[in-house]
Amino acid sequence: MYFKRFFEFKPNNNNIFIMYKDGKVIYDLDQKTFMLEESFLNYEVECTKIGIAINGKSNIYAVDVTYSNFQLNEQGYTSLVEYDLRQMMSMLNEDDLNLVGRANQLLHWLKSNKHCGYCGAVKNEDKKEGALFCSCNNIMTYPTISPCVLCLIKKDNQILLARNAMFPEGLFSVLAGFIETSETAEQTLEREVEEEVGLKVKNIKYFGSQSWPFPSQLMIGYECEYASGEINVDGIEIVEAKWFGINNLPKTPPNSTLSGRLINSYIADRSKL
Ligand SMILES: [Zn+2]
């Protein structure tokens, strides 16, 4: 299977739909899948849809049936339910999560870019580019992602973990922040660490990245070392931040997230010593 973005649509027995309704994924419990065969579905062809991948003879489409008459109990599948995409993170492997997340991101892109920001007209589809454009200026609108930096700070044999104001009590994670226009990822990291916890860091090293479809982010993970300063949380975004050794860790995010993997990779390295 490979990712491809395309608008062309022809009903076909090989088509696979990844369907969203009211922001939730439609999932078949019996077959344990979100990849639904078009031939078993009773849906209105005019609903919002976009091709997102090709797998052999199958075109895979992201389909939004929120504003059409689609009934879960009138389908060729008998055990359809609606799942929150976040809930699916713990159920799916990374490839499946990327695919179902890609469907969410491209539907979000289509729905949020319907009108031209310059003249207000409904945008056209450019089939060759797989992009949207308006004839008032011929500027193509491609899907956008918002890059976000994650940062694990190490000091002696401890790491800095923080509790975001939006986290439940007791859950701590690495620091995170969106890349500002014109910033490099490393500059974002230095700025966010200073703004959120008042520290300076050094020796920034890339760790890995993860697509984060809520709705369209790319998480870019780094490790770095403490350089100077005392912890001083901003009290707005971050309400608590502490140094933790591997023997007194708080509750942290699961391994299905890049922040969880950053923390667990540190624990694995320390455990070898
Ligand atoms: Zn326009």
Which range of residues forms the domain containing residue 231? 146-272
Categorize the per-residue pLDDT at 138 as very low, low, confident or very high, splitting at 50, 70 and 90.
confident
Residues 155 and 105 in one domain: no
- Say how many Å lie between the CA of residue 19 and the centre of ligand 1: 30
Residues 12 and 84 in one domain: yes
Which residues are CB-neighbours of 143 under 8 A, at least 6 positions away?
Answer: 5, 105, 106, 109, 216
Please give the DSSP secondary-structure letter assigned to residue 121.
Answer: P
Inside any domain, residue 135: no
CATH of the domain at 169: 3.90.79.10
- Say how many Å lie between the CA of residue 112 and the centre of ligand 1: 15
- Say how many Å lie between the CA of residue 115 and the centre of ligand 1: 8
Inside any domain, residue 132: no
- Say how many Å lie between the CA of residue 121 and the centre of ligand 1: 6
Mean pLDDT, range 31-54, rounded to an integer: 95
What total number of domains does the chain contain? 2
Mean pLDDT, range 196-203, rounded to an integer: 97
Residues 78 and 170 in one domain: no
- Say how many Å lie between the CA of residue 103 and the centre of ligand 1: 26
Inside any domain, residue 126: no
- Say how many Å lie between the CA of residue 123 and the centre of ligand 1: 7
Inside any domain, residue 74: yes
Q: For 224-250, write each residue's pLDDT tens digit.
A: 999 999 999 988 889 999 999 999 999
What is the SS3 assignment for 215? coil
Inside any domain, residue 136: no
The last residue of one of the domains, among 112, 127, 160, is 112
- Say how many Å lie between the CA of residue 214 and the centre of ligand 1: 28
The answer, yes or no, to whether residue 23 has pLDDT greater than 80, is yes
Residues 90 and 170 in one domain: no
- Say how many Å lie between the CA of residue 106 and the centre of ligand 1: 21
Residues 150 and 268 in one domain: yes
pTM of the shown model: 0.88
- Say how many Å lie between the CA of residue 135 and the centre of ligand 1: 6
Joined together, the tokens standing for residue 231 give 């912890």
- Say how many Å lie between the CA of residue 118 and the centre of ligand 1: 5
The answer, yes or no, to whether residue 163 has pLDDT greater than 90, is yes
Inside any domain, residue 198: yes
Contact 70, 27 (CB under 8 A): no
The last residue of one of the domains, among 59, 90, 112, is 112
Q: What are residue 257's phi and psi, to 5 degrees? A: -110, 150
Inside any domain, residue 133: no
- Say how many Å lie between the CA of residue 137 and the centre of ligand 1: 6
Amino acid at 108: H
Amino acid at 57: K
